[in-house]
């Protein structure tokens, strides 16, 4: 038999074990009622404990902390247990009724047993939770910094393209610091807010995005506190007791370990990030700094790797933004309102701040009468328009106040004398500033350089704008003042009374107002400056008395005559502009009363003679007689007696072209010891030689027009190059001139003496039919504008001449700085340059009536920059052009703008061609300064 396994268990032990188990189970039933009562009491205690914990959590969260995960988990469990216990207590009466025999038995033993067991378990859970709740030492902790804090922003219009450019740049490794600049109210902060919020929408590999508003009152300590708060350093109890330098060290330690984005809004001056403790972005950290500013100079000071200008809105975007603020209900309330809205939109000049302010003001106006009144208010007294003063002008005034000194502020204020959207010649403006006495010195080039410096400051602060004019004016520098900035300046000068006392209520500006009658003379009495330019005045019926008047703009009117006594009571007048009055044929003898006059502009008038009484103007420093085609008489010795003259402009002055006294006149010029700017037209080589032989005249000549120049077949380039400051050269009707000769031996020496045409930027050639080529232009490295009209030349740069010059002078390519090229009526022209040129600056080529020109000096390399080039010409000419290959032709096709072939006149003879040249020249010169 196999092994037998046996177990022996004591009957007493088995009975005792079963009795204990049964007893425990019995207690679930026998003690049920008592356990329920205890559970209810313990639950109440737990709820009270939860209330205490929640009170502590609420107080802590008010201090910008968040509850701990442990506390949150406990609260969640308490909430769950409370619900479960409530369910058990709802069954209390029902379960107790089942009990019998004094609670020692149940009518349903199994059910009572299960229920009693649940009660005991929940009682244990409640007791544990109550104990945990009383042991929480910390219920909340400071929350870790979010990657980026979302900032409120309204829907934007017109910033999409700029945002995309900035964002792409922000994602590039090479770019660490980005500057965003533009005038006040143009949307720089909105753009930066878009960038900030983009980091919320998209997950990028940055540890923290820090936003700081810097503003005008730069306080590095506040910047430190903002950074410290964002990166959690402020939580350290010792932070407040640290010095500025110690905080900088702590910030540096922390940020060096992070990949951060620092967004600085509204910078007015250099913020030394290193001093604050911010490590400059590098390839190692890949961190970024993006800032906004009103001043492009700040972009340079901050070391921006890239900078972007936020421009005013396009017409389409301005309309969209304005319509959003007004609302469709108002715009559709009357058929005339949309058209009236266009007038208000135009007044805003695309400035978002103005569009939003005016749009919101019009959002409840549903009648055309209200809109017409609003337009009138905005045009005549914009500061009275609802919201303009407090929301627009007050913000723009910060830029005005931040200018370096009162002299620059006065120069800016002067610009509001010009009409809205007016293109202001930099040269003319500086002449007026000098006449007014705004600049420190008049003698030499220092004052003029100071004028250009001030214009640069105003451009860089976005208070003035550069202007790109039509092809007729390219090569001349123009600026303009934004309409809203102009309105703000007029508000400062005439209405606000918050500037210097001597500037208050001193301007009378009705420029471009379409007036046919001048303002009453009573309004002239207190003013310092009057601008009535761009109106329809024919005469003045009254004689004004204005002892304080310093500037008077009467240009671009229809003045036919000026009464003898008109100037009798203007003893302080320093600047008088009568230009572009084509019906003005003479000056009154009473002009001699202007004993303080320093600037007199008679350009583009039809005056026939200068009155002898001008010799009384002993303080006259600037006289402008350019484009005076009717001027036939200048009294002998008059110019000589104007001994204070510093600026004399005689470019295309008829007197020098037609008069037999031109030689005597040139001799008089030699007596002007203080002359530092001269523009002049000369008709023969003797007059030119006289200018060149006088050191001062040679040096100060800036613009030279050689007209007709009979009996001169050649002209040595070396003679013209002696005019070191020559910036504009015009050859007109030099019908005998065949070439400008280059003496290579002289050129080699000149390159060492810097006697090349370094300053020459504009060359115009009109009706020089025998001129063979313009190879000498290779000696003008900074030439920007070249126009050639009416000529029989076959090539512009001669293949036979350029080789020797290039070899001896080291010229790689001519026309490296050329921006504008116009060729018209060159019937025999075959070649501009025989090889393709890089044309790095070229913006526009205009070709007309050049049938033999079959190839442009452009190739596939030039095509890479094709977006910057516009080519204008006849369709028939374009179709005949020969290209390097089809790809190059296709690349330049989008650049082409056609002109109507029928618009070009066919000439049967050279005489007809010359006659057309003369008419075109006169028409061009009498054009008013174009409005951008």
Predicted pLDDT of residue 641: 93
In whole angstroms, how far apart are CA 640 and each of 240, 396, 630, 673, 674?
A: 75, 48, 22, 10, 12
Contacts of 825 (CB under 8 A, 6+ apart): 789, 790, 791, 848, 849, 850, 907, 913, 916, 917
**Helix, strand, or coil here: 45?**
helix
Q: Is 210 helix (H, G, I), strand (E, B) or coil?
A: strand
pLDDT digits (tens, 9 = 90+) for 266-289: 999 999 999 999 998 876 678 999
Quote the tokens at residue 455. 């214009």
| 193 or 860, higher pLDDT | 193
For 44-71, what is the mean pLDDT? 82
User: How far, in Å, CA of 895 to CA of 864, rounded?
Assistant: 12
Given a contact cutoff of 8 angstroms between Cβ atoms, the answer to whether 293 and 179 are in contact is yes
Contact 628, 602 (CB under 8 A): yes
Task: Read off the pLDDT of each residue in 399-420 and give the average, rounded to a whole number.
Answer: 92
Q: How far apart are CA 491 and CA 498, in angstroms?
A: 9
Domain boundaries, the chain: 11-142, 160-309, 315-380, 391-502
Task: Specify the DSSP element, H or E, that contains 362.
Answer: none
Query: CA-to-CA distance for 550 and 410, rounded, in angstroms?
Result: 13
Q: What is the dihedral of CA 779, 784, 788, 792, to 10 degrees?
A: 30
How many Cβ atoms sit within 10 Å of the Cβ of residue 357?
Answer: 21
Instruction: Please write the tens of the pLDDT for every residue from 116-146.
Output: 777 788 788 888 888 887 778 887 776 666 7
What CATH class is the domain 160-309?
alpha beta
> Looking at the whole model, is its pTM more than 0.95?
no
pLDDT in tens, 311-337: 999 999 999 999 999 999 999 999 999
Q: How far apart are CA 141 and CA 154, in angstroms?
A: 34
Ranking 207-221, 383-397, 546-560, 640-654 by mean pLDDT, the lowest is 383-397
When pLDDT is cut at 50, 70 and 90, the band that residue 908 belongs to is very low
Q: Which two tokens stand for residue 228?
A: 């410290």
> Cβ atoms within 10 A of the Cβ of 901, count?
13
- The Cα–Cα gap between 617 and 388 comes to 44
The domain defined by 391-502 folds into: Arc Repressor Mutant, subunit A (1.10.10)
Residue 472 above 50 pLDDT? no
Distance CA 450, CA 927 (A): 29
| CA 378 to centroid of chain Cα atoms | 24
Which token pair is 576? 């008088």
Q: Which residue has the tokens 């020459």?
A: 760
pLDDT in tens, 705-735: 999 887 788 888 888 888 989 999 999 999 8
pLDDT tier, 106 (very low <50, low <70, confident <90, very high otherwise): low
Residues with Cβ within 8 Å of 681's Cβ and at least 6 positions away in sequence, in order, are: 650, 651, 652, 653, 656, 657, 704, 705, 706, 707, 730
The single-letter DSSP state of residue 525 is S
Query: 146-205: per-residue pLDDT in tens?
Result: 788 888 888 888 888 899 999 998 888 888 999 999 988 889 999 999 999 988 877 667
Cα-only R_g, the chain: 42
DSSP H helices in 609-684: 638-641, 654-658, 662-669
Pairing of strands 288-293, 177-181: parallel
Q: What CA dihedral angle connects 393, 395, 401 and 402, to 10 degrees?
A: -140
CA distance 95 to 36: 10
70-74 long-range Cβ contacts below 8 angstroms, 24+ apart: 70/136, 71/136, 71/139, 71/140, 74/129, 74/132, 74/133, 74/136
Positive or negative torsion for Cα 604, 610, 616, 618: positive
- Contact of 837 with 869, CB cutoff 8 Å: no
Q: How far is it, in rounded angstroms, from Cα 803 to Cα 808?
A: 9
What distances in angstroms separate CA 330 from CA 155, 198, 265, 335, 346, one per listed residue?
A: 20, 34, 35, 10, 19
Yes or no: is domain 315-380 CATH 1.10.10? no
Query: Please, are residues 420 and 483 in contact by the beta-carbon 8 Å criterion?
Result: yes
CA distance 138 to 136: 6
Which of 220-254 are b and which e, b meaning 16 or more Cβ less than 10 Å from the residue's Cβ? Answer: beebbbbbbebbebbeeeebeebeeeebbebbeeb
CA–CA separation, 662 and 687 (whole Å) = 8
> Are 598 and 622 contacting, i.e. CB atoms less than 8 angstroms apart?
yes
In DSSP notation, 716-773 reads EHHHHHT-TT--EEEEES-TT--EEE--HHHHHHHHHHT-S-SS--EEEEES-TT---
Angle at 31 between CA 26 and CA 37, to 5 degrees: 155
User: What's the mean pLDDT when you consider all of the chain?
Assistant: 83
Query: What is the per-residue pLDDT across 591-629, written as a single tens digit (0 to 9) for each?
Result: 999 999 999 999 999 999 999 999 999 999 999 999 999
* Closest C-alpha to 298, from 354, 365, 216: 216
Q: Which three-class secondary structure string do you get for 599-625? A: EEECCCCCCCECCHHHHHCCCCCEEEC
- Rounded Cα gap, residues 848 and 683, in angstroms: 29
**Same topology between domain 160-309 and domain 315-380:** no
Question: In residues, how long is the chain?
Answer: 932
Give the angle subtended at the CA of 476 by the CAs of 471 and 477, to the nearest 5°. 120
């Amino acid at each position: 038999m196999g092994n037998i396994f046996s177990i022996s268990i004591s009957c007493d032990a088995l009975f005792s074990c079963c009795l204990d188990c049964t007893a425990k189970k019995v207690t679930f039933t026998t003690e049920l009622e008592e356990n329920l009562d205890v559970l209810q009491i313990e639950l109440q205690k737990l709820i009270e404990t939860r209330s205490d914990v929640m009170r502590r959590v609420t107080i802590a969260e008010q201090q910008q902390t968040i509850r701990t995960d442990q506390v949150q988990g406990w609260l969640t469990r308490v909430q769950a247990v409370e619900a479960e216990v409530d369910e058990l207590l709802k069954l209390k009466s029902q379960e107790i009724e089942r009990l019998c025999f004094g609670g020692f038995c149940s009518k349903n033993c199994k059910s009572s047993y299960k229920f009693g067991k649940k009660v005991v378990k929940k009682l244990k859970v409640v007791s544990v939770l109550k104990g945990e709740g009383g042991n929480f030492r910390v219920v909340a902790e400071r929350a870790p910094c979010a990657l980026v804090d979302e900032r409120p922003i309204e829907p934007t219009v017109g910033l999409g393209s700029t945002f995309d450019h900035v964002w792409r740049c922000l994602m590039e490794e090479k770019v660490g610091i980005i500057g965003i600049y533009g005038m006040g109210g143009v949307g720089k902060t909105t753009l930066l807010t878009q960038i900030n919020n983009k980091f919320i929408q998209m997950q990028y590999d940055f540890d923290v995005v820090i936003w700081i508003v810097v503003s005008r009152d730069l306080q590095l300590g506040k910047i430190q506190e903002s950074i410290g708060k964002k990166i959690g350093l402020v939580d350290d109890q010792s932070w407040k007791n640290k010095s500025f330098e110690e905080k900088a060290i702590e910030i540096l330690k922390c940020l060096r370990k992070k990949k951060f984005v620092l967004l600085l809004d509204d910078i007015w001056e250099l913020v030394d990030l290193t001093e604050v403790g911010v490590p400059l972005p590098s390839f190692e950290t890949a961190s970024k700094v993006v800032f906004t500013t009103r001043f492009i100079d700040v972009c340079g000071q901050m070391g921006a790797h890239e900078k972007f200008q936020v421009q005013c809105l396009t017409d389409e975007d301005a309309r969209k933004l304005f319509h959003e603020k007004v609302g469709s209900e108002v715009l559709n309330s009357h058929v005339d309102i949309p058209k009236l809205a266009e007038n208000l939109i135009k007044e805003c000049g695309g400035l978002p701040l103005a569009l939003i302010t005016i749009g919101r003001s019009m959002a409840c106006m549903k009648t055309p009468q209200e809109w017409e009144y609003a337009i009138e208010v905005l045009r005549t007294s914009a500061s009275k328009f609802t919201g303009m003063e407090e929301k627009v002008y007050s913000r723009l005034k910060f830029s005005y106040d931040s200018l370096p000194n009162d002299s620059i502020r006065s120069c800016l204020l002067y610009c509001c004398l010009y009409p809205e959207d007016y293109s202001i010649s930099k040269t003319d403006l500086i002449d007026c500033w000098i006449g007014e006495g705004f600049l420190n010195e008049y003698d030499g080039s220092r004052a003029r350089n100071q004028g250009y410096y001030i214009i640069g400051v105003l451009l860089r602060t976005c208070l003035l704008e550069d202007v790109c004019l039509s092809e007729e004016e390219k090569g001349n520098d123009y600026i303009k003042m934004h309409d809203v900035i102009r309105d703000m300046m007029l508000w400062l000068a005439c209405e606000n009374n918050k500037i210097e006392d001597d500037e208050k209520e001193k301007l009378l500006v009705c420029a471009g107002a379409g007036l046919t009658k001048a303002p009453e003379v009573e309004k002239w009495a207190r003013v310092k400056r009057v601008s009535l330019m761009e109106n329809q005045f024919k005469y003045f019926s009254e004689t004004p008395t204005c002892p304080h008047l310093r500037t008077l703009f009467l240009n671009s009117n229809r003045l036919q005559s000026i009464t003898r006594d008109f100037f009798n009571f203007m003893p302080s007048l320093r600047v008088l502009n009568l230009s572009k009055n084509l019906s003005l044929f003479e000056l009154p003898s009473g002009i001699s009363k202007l004993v303080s006059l320093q600037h007199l502009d008679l350009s583009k008038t039809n005056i026939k003679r200068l009155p002898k009484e001008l010799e009384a103007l002993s303080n006259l420093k600037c006289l402008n007689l350019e484009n005076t085609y009717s001027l036939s008489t200048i009294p002998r010795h008059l110019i000589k007696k104007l001994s204070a003259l510093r600026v004399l402009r005689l470019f295309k002055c008829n007197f020098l072209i037609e008069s037999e006294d031109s030689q005597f006149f040139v001799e008089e010029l030699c007596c002007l010891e203080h002359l530092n700017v001269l523009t002049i037209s000369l008709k023969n080589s003797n007059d030119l030689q006289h200018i060149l032989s006088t050191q001062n005249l040679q040096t100060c000549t800036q613009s030279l027009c050689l007209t007709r120049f009979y009996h001169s077949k050649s002209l040595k380039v070396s003679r013209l190059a002696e005019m070191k400051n020559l910036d504009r050269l015009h050859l007109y009707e030099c019908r005998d001139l065949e070439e400008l000769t280059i003496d290579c031996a002289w050129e080699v020496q000149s390159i060492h003496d810097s006697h090349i045409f370094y300053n020459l930027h504009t060359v115009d050639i009109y009706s020089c039919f025998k001129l063979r080529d313009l190879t000498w232009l290779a000696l003008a490295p900074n030439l920007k504008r070249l126009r050639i009209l009416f000529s029989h030349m076959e090539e512009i740069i001669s293949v036979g001449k350029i080789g020797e010059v290039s070899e001896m002078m080291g010229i790689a390519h001519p026309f490296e700085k050329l921006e504008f090229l116009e060729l018209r009526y060159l019937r025999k022209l075959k070649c501009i340059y025989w090889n393709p040129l890089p044309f790095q600056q070229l913006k526009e080529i205009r070709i007309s009536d050049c049938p033999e020109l079959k190839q442009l000096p452009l190739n596939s390399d030039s095509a890479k920059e094709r977006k910057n080039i516009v080519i204008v010409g006849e369709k028939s000419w374009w179709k005949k052009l020969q290209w390097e290959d089809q790809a190059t032709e296709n690349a330049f096709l989008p650049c082409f703008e056609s002109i109507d072939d029928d618009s070009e006149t066919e000439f049967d003879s050279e005489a007809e061609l010359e006659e057309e040249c003369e008419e075109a020249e006169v028409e061009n010169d009498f054009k008013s300064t174009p409005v951008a």
